[in-house]
Amino acid sequence: MSFTGLRALLPKHDLRALLILAAIIIIVMPLFLDIFRLNLVGKYLTYAFVALGLVLCWGLGGILSLGQGVFFGLGGYCMAMFLKLEASSPEQTSIQSTPGIPDFMDWNQLTELPWFWEPFHSLSFTLLAVIAVPALFAFIIGVAMFKRRVGGVYFAIITQAIAAILTILIIGQQGYTGGVNGITDLRTLLGWDIRTTSAQYILYFINAILLFACLLAAQVIRKSKLGRLLVAMREREDRVRFSGYDVANFKIFVFCIAAVFSAIGGAMFTLQVGFMSPSFVGIVPSIEMVIYCAVGGRLSIFGAVYGTLLVNWAKTFFSESFPELWLFAMGALFIGVVMAFPNGLADLYQSYALPWLKKQRLRLPARLGGVKTPQKTTE
């Protein structure tokens, strides 16, 4: 891409935001946090993938999905199935009545591996599935809903129902899915022990890099005509339709992208935390992920990351110190953000912090004798 293209993609303020975020995540956090806390941050950052998807889907496009946990879970479960199979080699499971299958299957009297587990012996298939399964699922939902013009609150409720359905299914089909406990006791990835400190460091950085890749992808979408179309659709869907666009296709696309982001987050969650369970799939976690995005600012891709970190930090803080207060705080957060700060932290930054910073900066060269003209805002 040419330099001007790059400038258009990352105008100065976005570039600065990106660099600051990168410095915090890649340098500050690993330097100042012990591995336990860093692993925790890594876990939070996997939710940031979901929040990022929601910025595109909900913030720009106005499509509120209350079922993003589904995609997070699908990605996470795909990864967990691979890791579980690796941890269930016949040697390691020789005490079971059927060695070579995951322990929970054995407990549920299964005597052979279900067919849909088979391909997850292969890492390359798994990596493909992490992306493809959620994307396909989102595509099917998207086609079914958006082609028939289901939107707004109806879409929200139906995605919520889908999250409920998948949770009930996972819990009910214990023998195939590990049930309510999920898929636990994951140990190695191609023989590499993911529970060691060094592995946790490496996974943290892989996670960070993937997050920045997704941030850049989101930025490309946001800055393209497609991004502006999403905003246009949010406001006047009919006008976009009568300007010659098949509105449904755009919604399907952005919904699939959000699903893929979530799934990457889910897979990285499994790798860093070492298990996957239905408690990350259902209605409650799904709607909680929306609040990460709302706190950061539904229109800001960087805000989504900060929002996720902040809410999760608060959650950990409360659950460690005042567990009974957490739901109050969370409830107040939902109400407060929606009513008082609909555009979240990003808006606070834009309206208060940025003007103040600019004023400080203008003052400095003035004192030095040469006034720089204020930067022209880029298109």
Does residue 65 contact residue 258 with C-beta atoms inside 8 Å? Answer: yes
Strands 188-189 and 192-193, sheet pairing:
antiparallel
- Looking at beta carbons only, is 133 or 220 nearer to other proteins? 220
DSSP per-residue letters across 300-324 = -HHHHHHHHHHHHHHHHHHHHH-GG
Q: How far is the CB of 214 from other proteins (least distance, A)?
A: 16
Determine if 242 is a binding residue for other proteins (CB under 8 A).
Answer: yes
**CB under 8 Å to 262, separation ≥6 — which residues?**
49, 50, 53, 68, 69, 71, 72, 75, 134
Compute how many residues bind other proteins; rule: CB under 8 A: 69
Q: Which stretch binds other proteins (CB under 8 A): 61-69, 73-81, 109-117, 263-271?
A: 61-69
Please report, as residue ranges, which positions from 1 to 60 form the binding site for other proteins (by CB under 8 A): 58
Determine if 224 is a binding residue for other proteins (CB under 8 A).
Answer: yes
Please report, as residue ranges, which positions from 63 to 82 form the binding site for other proteins (by CB under 8 A): 64, 66
Q: Is 17 exposed, middle or buried (0-12, 13-18, 19+ CB in 10 A)?
A: buried
With CB under 8 A as the contact rule, the residue among 16, 37, 114, 172 that binds other proteins is: 172
With CB under 8 A as the contact rule, the residue among 229, 258, 263, 271 that binds other proteins is: 229
- Looking at beta carbons only, is 28 or 338 nearer to other proteins? 338
Binding mask 300-329 for other proteins (x = CB under 8 A): ------------------------x--xx-
Q: How far is the CB of 72 from other proteins (least distance, A)?
A: 18
Q: How far is the CB of 6 from other proteins (least distance, A)?
A: 14
Q: How far is the CB of 203 from other proteins (least distance, A)?
A: 31
Nearest CA to 254 out of 133, 135, 132 is that of 135
CA 136, CA 196: separation in Å to the nearest integer?
34
Please count the other Cβ atoms lying within 10 Å of the Cβ belonging to residue 270: 30
With CB under 8 A as the contact rule, the residue among 31, 34, 124, 148 that binds other proteins is: 148
| Token couple for 37 | 């806390």
Determine if 235 is a binding residue for other proteins (CB under 8 A).
Answer: yes
Could you say which DSSP state residue 98 is in? S
CA 251, CA 159: separation in Å to the nearest integer?
14
Q: How many helices (H) and strands (E) does the chain have?
A: 18, 2
In three-state secondary structure terms, 192 is strand
- Looking at beta carbons only, is 218 or 271 nearer to other proteins? 218
Binding mask 326-355 for other proteins (x = CB under 8 A): -xx-xxxxxxxxxx--x-------------
Q: Which stretch binds other proteins (CB under 8 A): 16-24, 94-102, 229-237, 361-369?
A: 229-237
CA 256, CA 51: separation in Å to the nearest integer?
14
The helix-helix angle for 152-172 and 123-146 (nearest 10°) equals: 140
Binding site for other proteins (CB under 8 A): 58, 62, 64, 66, 144-145, 148-150, 152-154, 156-158, 160-162, 164-165, 168-169, 171-173, 220-221, 224-226, 228-229, 231-232, 235-236, 238-247, 249-250, 253, 283, 287, 290-291, 294, 324, 327-328, 330-339, 342, 379
